[in-house]
Chain A
């Protein structure tokens, strides 16, 4: 379906001339203008565009910050204060970048949850999905290294705790940790390399996003019914229709984003990070940024260090196997009367793990963290394969246009029946 006819017609002589030599404009046109999108996409489908916006914002604000930031253990904290106080609009740029990281993660979590609910990972979108998981992993790495840069107490102790996890690896663990640190402890050397990598990673992400969107445009977008596009009647051209909807979603998102930037810039951070890093004094309570908390809870739920580390990384990597773990015949959870309850309980478990990740690992918190960790894995390893086989999906519309326009949507003659009737 993506081999659609290009409607690109260069209007100027220069445009024509270039089109015959390097059809870059045609590529853009067929990717973002006449590209057919399902006509029934809801606002959850605006988050892909929102994520692209977030990446752009982080790159632009990050480059400006890097002009004033000094990546050394003696100067880093002071240089951030210099940016907040003396650089023109430095406070604004810094707030946008710091809040922007959280917004990026809010958007990516919604984006991933959308994919899980509507079965967007199922064939033929497995590669698209796996590229997404890679982006997510890279985002986690970029966010983690970025949080070190202000060189506050939480930066320092967060890095210390997280890099130390690698020491759980048998035999080579200690060497790996020393190699990561560039010495025998987290120091200015560590800060310097993290800055280098933090600058690099967003561009790697940008590269993978290009692949991600390429893969998307080969297989086409999924949609709330999970039924593939069959005729042109099922689609509208991306521009102006989908783009306009994207702008609505983006406007609301920027509004939310700005609220934090201007009125609650520190709400998502931690007060201890306004204290300069001090290797000699440990903060009473070390917590990572909120977006890592579910995984932090999983890490601490397992009573063995190595086990915890393995569980934590598996919790992310397991996402890559979802296309094969889910055995359901239909994509969209909308038509899955049983699975939907499990889905929402899964979402609840992740939120609960996030809550528990911020609590000290004592008493009842530990037991609940174990309970929800267990469900987290059971959901993928047991619920997805089994429910998919046992469940009878609800009756589905024959096509996207039938779902949108009711019976009048005209299923074309001879179109294949919806999957549950096969």
Chain B
């Protein structure tokens, strides 16, 4: 998924490529694709991590500002509707503010009575418009690279090559009881703060940038964040780390807007079940005392 597949191939080429790819893969050829050793990703402390995790409203609002002022030039956020920005558990902007924000966009609608598409002001129920109409247009503008939609980015990435394969008993014992689900956020933060000068012996391909977190270390995205680039209204620091943290938290919310509802309900459910289990256990003991 991270490859830069540049050709817009015809259907025939697609089918052939797919068959070939599929057959090559059929038996253990997967190793060939495991290119680029995974970088080590540091764990960050997130307000939304853990059993009682909650988003920090001010952080989500700042994060949205970063997204809107920087990332939105290249990346869409199509699964978020403007109205979501005012809903509980998210940045919780005022409904008025969100309405105004939506109206500042022009969106295409239609067809109208004449069968024509037309432009109108955005409404809170509209999805946030993406910068490009489709992948092809994005690639055309971005030199063949594709800036993915960010609605699910923190869910679609993980820290480490294959976190779903719970490598060791140690890591399972650490991550299951703590409910570690922030690998994607850790990765995005590491990516945004991971630009550096390439090692002397590395030759970057044309238009590529060196990044410590990106698999293979060559990424087409230019370093998006610079110190002091965005003016925060709440007086938070204008550092790259701060921007990265805020926008990542915002994207984590965008990927999992029901996180707070889930954790709030989870605590109640677990407490309820704990009490039930204890009661059932003692009832069982009393019952069996008669036969043992």
Residues of A within 8 A of B (CB): 39, 81, 84-85, 91-92, 95, 153, 157, 160-161, 164-165, 167-168, 184-186, 236, 240-241, 244-245, 247-248, 251-252, 254-255, 258-272, 274-275, 278-287, 290, 293, 299-300, 305, 308, 355, 358-362, 404-405
Contact = CB atoms under 8 A, between A and B. Distances in A.
Given A255-B273, A266-B155, A91 B262 contact: yes
Given A244-B287, A258-B269, A359-B165, A272 B156 contact: yes
B22 A284 contact: no
B26 A161 contact: yes
B168 to A, nearest CB: 9
A244 B9 CA distance: 63
Contact of A282 (B33, B156, B269): B33
19 contacts: A81-B79, A92-B262, A161-B22, A245-B284, A248-B277, A248-B280, A251-B273, A255-B273, A258-B273, A261-B266, A262-B270, A265-B181, A265-B262, A270-B162, A274-B155, A281-B3, A282-B25, A299-B27, A362-B31
Contacts of A286: 25, 30, 33
B176 A264 contact: yes
B118 interface: no
Contacts of A405: 292
Contact of B269 (A262, A264, A355): A262
A258 B266 contact: yes
A157 B24 CA distance: 12
Interface of B: 1-3, 5, 9, 14-15, 17-19, 21-23, 25-28, 30-31, 33-36, 51, 79, 84, 148, 151-152, 155-158, 161-167, 175-176, 179-181, 183-184, 215, 255, 257-258, 261-263, 265-267, 269-270, 273-274, 276-277, 280-281, 283-284, 287-288, 291-292
Contacts of B25: 157, 160-161, 164, 282, 286
A271 B157 contact: yes
Contacts of A272: 1, 156
B36 A284 contact: yes
Contacts of B163: 271
A281 B14 CA distance: 11
Contacts of A153: 1
A363 to B, nearest CB: 10
A274 B152 CA distance: 7
Given A269-B164, A271-B158, A361-B31, A241 B179 contact: no
B70 to A, nearest CB: 23
A164 B152 CA distance: 30
B23 A167 contact: yes
A280 B215 CA distance: 19
A83 B110 CA distance: 26
Closest 4 CB pairs of A and B: A262-B266, A358-B165, A263-B179, A164-B26
Given A268-B164, A361-B30, A85 B270 contact: no
A262 B51 CA distance: 9
A85 B152 CA distance: 12
B112 to A, nearest CB: 25
A418 to B, nearest CB: 22
Contacts of A404: 292
Nearest to A263: B179
A86 B48 CA distance: 21
A279 B176 CA distance: 33
Nearest to B266: A262
A225 B233 CA distance: 72
B176 A248 contact: no
Contact of A271 (B26, B176, B184, B277): B184
A262 B267 CA distance: 8
B288 A287 contact: no
A254 B273 CA distance: 8
A271 B183 contact: yes
Contacts of B266: 258, 261-263
Given A361-B28, A362-B31, A264 B22 contact: no
Contacts of B165: 287, 290, 293, 358-359
B28 A259 contact: no
Nearest to A280: B5
Contacts of B3: 281-282
A271 B163 CA distance: 8
Contact of A241 (B5, B9, B180, B288): B288
Contacts of B152: 81, 274-275
B21 A264 contact: no
B35 A284 contact: yes
Contact of B287 (A165, A240, A252, A308): A240
